[in-house]
């Protein structure tokens, strides 16, 4: 789209420099204005076309961590609202809550020696944090994952997990099995 705009502007200037015909210049200006209208209309439609499954409205996201970077993953820095439906959280030994964009990043923190307790995950259906031990994970669905090729989405209710699985495929597992799958991302 940007390329089309640059070409249109270049043609506008070339037409203006190459001819003294006001009618040709008027036609070129009209074409440029028409192109601008098309670009403005496209910009309005693009955000809805590219909304990711993992994303929620800012008002629906619960950010548990404190501080300046509270809206970003503790490991990779990705935006937690944008990747909210795969968010995990846990408390370190000092009582500080860390929030992660995905099970992948939680597994990465543990892999690097983080000592965490009370791990939680967002229930895709209610958007509330639940203990990972109460979650049913759908692993390997056709819905894109976060930080991993193999998606991992959690549900508090088994019926919700089965409905998601029926629509998107994947396998229903417990947290431990989903975590083992996430650890495979780090094997060489």
Output the pTM of the full model. 0.74
Q: Is the pLDDT of residue 29 over 80?
A: no
User: What stretch of H or E contains 97?
Assistant: strand 97-100
Q: What are phi and psi of 63, to 5 degrees?
A: -100, 115
pLDDT at 38: 56
Q: What are phi and psi of 169, to 5 degrees?
A: 80, -170
What is the distance between the alpha carbons of residues 47 and 50, in angstroms, rounded to a whole number?
Answer: 6
Non-local (6+) Cβ contacts of 122 within 8 A are 62, 84, 85, 86, 87, 88, 128, 129, 130, 154
Give the helix, strand, coil percentages of the chain, each rounded to 5. Answer: 45, 15, 35
Length of the chain (residues): 188
pLDDT digits (tens, 9 = 90+) for 151-176: 999 999 999 999 999 999 999 999 99
**What are the residue ranges spanned by the domains of the chain?**
2-49, 58-186
């Amino acid at each position: 789209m940007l390329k089309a705009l640059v070409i249109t502007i270049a043609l506008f200037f070339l037409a203006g420099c190459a001819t003294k015909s006001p009618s040709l210049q008027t036609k070129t200006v009209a074409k440029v204005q028409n192109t601008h209208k098309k670009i403005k209309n496209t910009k309005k439609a693009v955000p809805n076309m590219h909304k990711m499954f993992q994303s929620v409205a800012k008002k629906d996201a619960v950010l548990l961590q404190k501080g300046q970077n509270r809206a970003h993953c503790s490991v990779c820095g990705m935006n937690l609202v944008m990747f909210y439906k795969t968010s995990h959280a846990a408390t370190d030994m000092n009582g500080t809550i860390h929030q992660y964009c995905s099970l992948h990043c939680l597994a990465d923190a543990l892999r690097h020696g983080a000592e965490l307790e009370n791990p939680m995950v967002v229930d895709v259906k209610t958007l509330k944090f639940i203990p990972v031990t109460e979650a049913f994970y759908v692993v390997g669905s056709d819905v894109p994952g976060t930080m991993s090729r193999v998606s991992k989405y959690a549900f508090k209710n088994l019926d919700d997990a089965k409905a998601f699985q029926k629509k998107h495929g994947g396998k229903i597992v417990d947290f431990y099995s989903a975590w083992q799958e996430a650890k495979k991302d780090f094997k060489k």
